[in-house]
Amino acid sequence: MSEAAGKPFVSEARVRVRYAETDQMGVVYHANYLVWFEVGRVEFIRNMGMDYRTMEQEDGIGIAVVDVSARYKSPARYDDELVIETRLLAARGAVVKFGYRIVRAADHTLLCEGETVHVVVGRDMKKHLLPEKYAKRFAAVLIR
């Protein structure tokens, strides 16, 4: 999970484009990339040995999306296999930021890249500091 040989930790998840995710032109509808960002984020946390369910149920926290950006580079189409690369860009106090790259597996074409910014919240939806056990794990894989 930490940097090995100077390379930061990058989690990869794979999805295959379903027909329902495309528009009349056969191109993936833009909002689906935000769903895939979430797929990547959940896998990133899982690959670190943690999970959302524990965060929510046992620790009483969530990470609410407060900002998202996406830059579309090339279209994905029905049945393309996609690789979602997820990195942790920042984790300080109550703020966590992830970065994403979505590429077509067959030819490694960059399709979309983006970021999400999250605020750690309690069950009351009020801002909380990231619990120490998560802060330590995130600090170990943070891209510097």
Alpha helices in the chain (DSSP H): 32-47, 52-57, 132-141
Q: Residue 2 has what pLDDT?
A: 44
What does the pLDDT read at residue 52?
86
pLDDT value of residue 55: 87
Domains and CATH numbers, the chain: 11-141 (3.10.129.10)
Kindly report the CA angle at 95 between 131 and 66, in degrees rounded to 5? 125
Through-space distance between the first and last CA atoms of the chain, rounded to whole angstroms: 14
Q: Which residues are catalytic?
A: 23
Portion of the chain with pLDDT greater than 70, in percent: 94
Ranges under pLDDT 70 in the chain: 1-7, 143-144
pTM exceeds 0.75 for this model: yes
pLDDT confidence of residue 6? 47
- Residues 131, 132, 138: CA angle, nearest 5 degrees: 95
Per-residue model confidence (pLDDT) at position 118:
97
